[in-house]
Structure 1
Amino acid sequence: MQTNFSPAQLADPHMKESEQILRTCVHCGFCTATCPTYVLLGDELDSPRGRIYLIKDMLEGGKPATAEVVKHVDRCLSCLSCMTTCPSGVNYMHLVDHARAHIDKTYRRPASEALLRTLMAKVLPNRRAFRWSMALARLGRPFAGLAARLPQGKRLAAMLALTPASLPSASSATHPGSFAPKTARKGRVALLTGCAQAELAPGINEAAIRLLNRHGIEVVLPKGEGCCGALVHHMGKENDALAYAKANIDAWTAEMAKGLDAILITTSGCGTTIKDYGFMLRGDPAYAQKAAAVSAIAKDISEYLETLPALPVTVETGQNVTYHAACSLQHGQQIKTAPKTLLKQAGFVVKEAAEAHLCCGSAGTYNMLQPEISERLRERKLGNIAATRPQIIAAGNIGCMTQLAQGTTTPIVHTVELLDWATGGPKPRGL
């Protein structure tokens, strides 16, 4: 793609990076076939190629974002299926992240929407505030119909629908500490505690710790680590995202000095962002090197487990498990086979639904900010999953699990919980 950025514009490293990405695009349109919003809506501007044109025009012209640009960029799920499809290697992720930051700085959203986004950015990454918000949301669920009539009502109703009936009690897997194996130590890893997952499903990290300990791996939950920054990053709040990233980098760097084989993540949406810390902080002299070092050893839990010897299976498995591939894992991190291989080794019969490349509609905050599109994607995904007749649905991302649970009675369990159960751990809560 031909570009016409001025030398002054290209002096900005963000603009220079985006200009290079734009020049990589050859307009082929392969991305349209695998873009969930284009598949649903059929609008060129709701495809990666269409959004690239809009972003180019906005950035190249040095223009504030318009309502039209915002509408179509907001509809992007950041599922990154287009990057898997693209034959030219266009880094759409970095381009749309830059566009969102530009929108956040230059576009004035309606007051009710701006307030909602501000509250989400403050509450969701803060575990204590998030837990309180869940308690309040449960009280508000009977009034979801009334909420739908208010400004931002459909979004409020979607938030209430996502609220679980109850939250698990406190867990040792959500506080700083170290978990040593009972056998000879063969390695040492840090495990991301994060934010929302720690409150919604602490059992996931409990299972990861037990499983890793069984392998002889010491697990540390570092003090000072928290939200990875993905939620605010995808809302265009760049400074907030970098602040969360720096706090985590400081916590992990301290542990790396003591010896750390990997930083493991059980929420794949977080993993995609953490693996990108090196890029996000490339221009910060104080953090560039540390961020790159953190990204270099960050791994999804399935990616790390695949490198370890298989453990003996201690319970009768054989259940039909349909594996739901989270976009952040299959597209963002290009991890496609590890979870399925591990489940098969543990004795499960693993199936995959049709259109596995399409997003379920969760996408971080997307199911709250774009509820109509999100619901259509969820129903399409669940229809494809139901056709496989699963006894269990396995997934590697809490956002996907919460999203899918709204529309099915089939148990949805994290991959690591099934692996833990099969090799000596307790039966997962979801079963």
Structure 2
Amino acid sequence: MQTELAPEFQGTTDGREAEAILRKCVHCGFCTATCPTYQLLGDELDGPRGRIYLIKQVLEGKTPTRSTQLHLDRCLTCRNCESTCPSGVQYGNLVDIGRKIVDQKVPRPAMENALRWTLKEGLPSPLFAPAMKLGQSVRGLLPAKLRAKVPAPQPAGAWPRRAHVRKMLMLAGCVQPSMAPNINSATARVLDAAGIQPVIAKNAGCCGAVKFHLNDQDGGRAQMRANIDAWWPQVEAGAVEAIVMNASGCGVTVREYGHILKDDPAYAAKAERISALTRDLSELLPELVPLLKGRVKAPAGLVAYHPPCTLQHGQKLRGGVEVNLRALGFDIRVAGSESHLCCGSAGTYSVLQPELAYPLRDRKLGHLNQLQPSAIVSANIGCITHLQSGTQTPVRHWVELLDAALAD
């Protein structure tokens, strides 16, 4: 796509990157067919091709409007379009650039700004844990919409204490320890059973995705640098062989540290190394299966699996969970229709765009429930919480299922 950058963007980092991405787009429209918001709204400007055109106009000097901002806000950043695109357009990077520029030029209403600030500052905050605990203590009294965001209290279970030669770093995350603490401890127990010692660096915190995708990109980068600093001594010493992510939303972000910090002279090389070491938990399954086989007693009943967008489109990891859990005896299936579409969680999207997020959730659950599962599993805390708010069927992380089936 031919693009003539306005003078203010010529020679800038964002301008050069955006122009290179735009030049790959041939405007074929294949992406439109797999865009969740286009499926719901049927508006060209609420699909990737239309949003690309809006960003192109802004980069060429057209003044963005509140309408421009709204169409970009409605994007889930699910990156399904990247999986569909025959030209390899890096839409996720382009929409990050477009949103940043538009937000600099288009003021938001005060209430909208306040909500976005609360999310970006509150979710990664140390105050989130006590706030969640308080919410859980009065959960039954909360309005339905708020109750949907406060999962029932969950015991974490024991953390393994054995030492192993093999060690891997884990990221505790910002919201997962409070909302679903068993995910991290179940991960640790499964790794321990396979002879791998999980290590959590004390000063590592939020992966940076929340702030970065709410257009506080400087704040997001600061959190990324803090994580690199926390992990680097063990990485540099060769004490760990990987950084394991059990939340695919965090995983896709950490895998992109190298790209996001590429222009930071102090962190570019370190960030690239961190990204290269990062592995989703499902990527370990091929080596875990032979180590755990014979020690797993898979429960009866079909399990439905929802692959998060951050796993299948962001990290391009497909099929690993289903294939390897089947090898361990689980009857796990993906709903055949629309398994590629987003469930509507998308980080903070379900809070900011509920009128789109909840129809997408119900559409996803409709397909999953056709399988009549005894449980639904996924690989991201956001998807798990969002789906659970719409069904009585238990929704869990797949590693919790595996952990529960491990013989003592």
TM-score bracket for this pair, using the shorter chain length? over 0.9
TM-score by length of 1: 0.89
The CA deviation at 1:127 is: 3.8
Where 2:188 maps in the other structure, the secondary structure is helix
Correspondence for 1:336: 318
Name the stretch that deviates more: 403-412 or 307-316. Answer: 307-316
Letter in 2 for 1:393: I
Cα deviations across residues 274-325 of structure 1 (Å, max 9, x unaligned)?
A: 1000000000000000000000010111112323452123424342111111
Correspondence for 1:164: 151
Distance in 2 between the 1:241 and 1:196 partners?
16
Correspondence 1:295 to 2:275: yes
Q: 1:158–1:61: structure 2 CA closer, same or farther, 3 Å change rule?
A: farther
Q: 1:158–1:367: structure 2 CA closer, same or farther, 3 Å change rule?
A: farther
Correspondence for 1:26: 26
Cα deviations across residues 77-117 of structure 1 (Å, max 9, x unaligned)?
A: 01110000000000001001112222333321111111111
TM-score by length of 2: 0.94
Cα deviations across residues 392-429 of structure 1 (Å, max 9, x unaligned)?
A: 1110011111001111111112111112222236xxxx
Correspondence for 2:213: 234
Where 2:9 maps in the other structure, the secondary structure is helix
Distance in 2 between the 1:363 and 1:57 partners?
26
Where 1:264 maps in the other structure, the secondary structure is strand
Correspondence for 2:35: 35
The CA deviation at 1:12 is: 0.9
Cα deviations across residues 1-42 of structure 1 (Å, max 9, x unaligned)?
A: 010015762311121101100110000000011000001110
Query: How does 1:130-209 map onto structure 2 within 5 Å?
Result: 130-132=129-131, 135-136=134-135, 142=141, 144=143, 158-165=145-152, 167-168=153-154, 181=162, 185-209=164-188
Correspondence 1:326 to 2:311: no
Where 1:322 maps in the other structure, the secondary structure is strand
The CA deviation at 1:171 is: 7.2
Letter in 2 for 1:2: Q
Letter in 1 for 2:326: K
Where 1:307 maps in the other structure, the secondary structure is helix
Contact map agreement 1:190 1:222 (CA 8 A) in 2 = yes
Letter in 2 for 1:394: V
Distance in 1 between the 2:350 and 2:272 partners?
31
Correspondence for 2:97: 98
Query: How does 1:306-317 map onto structure 2 within 5 Å?
Result: 306-310=286-290, 311=292, 312-317=294-299
Among candidates 250, 261, 282, match of residue 270 of structure 1: 250
| Structure 2 unpaired stretches of 5+ | none
The CA deviation at 1:163 is: 1.8
Cα deviations across residues 43-89 of structure 1 (Å, max 9, x unaligned)?
A: 000000000000111122174x4201111000000111000000000
Distance in 1 between the 2:218 and 2:325 partners?
39
Distance in 2 between the 1:209 and 1:201 partners?
14
Name the stretch that deviates more: 126-135 or 251-260. Answer: 126-135
Letter in 2 for 1:364: G
Q: 1:212–1:140: structure 2 CA closer, same or farther, 3 Å change rule?
A: closer
What is the root-mean-square deviation in Å for CA atoms of aligned residues? 2.0
Query: How does 1:73-84 map onto structure 2 within 5 Å?
Result: 73-84=72-83
Identity %: 45
Correspondence for 1:355: 338
Correspondence for 2:393: 410
Letter in 2 for 1:163: V
Where 1:249 maps in the other structure, the secondary structure is helix
Contact map agreement 2:69 2:103 (CA 8 A) in 1 = no
Q: 1:158–1:49: structure 2 CA closer, same or farther, 3 Å change rule?
A: farther
The CA deviation at 1:137 is: 8.1
Letter in 2 for 1:403: H
The CA deviation at 1:169 is: 5.9
Letter in 2 for 1:194: G
The CA deviation at 1:186 is: 4.8
Distance in 1 between the 2:75 and 2:106 partners?
17
Distance in 1 between the 2:138 and 2:209 partners?
28
Letter in 1 for 2:15: M
The CA deviation at 1:257 is: 2.5
Correspondence for 2:405: 422
Letter in 2 for 1:423: L
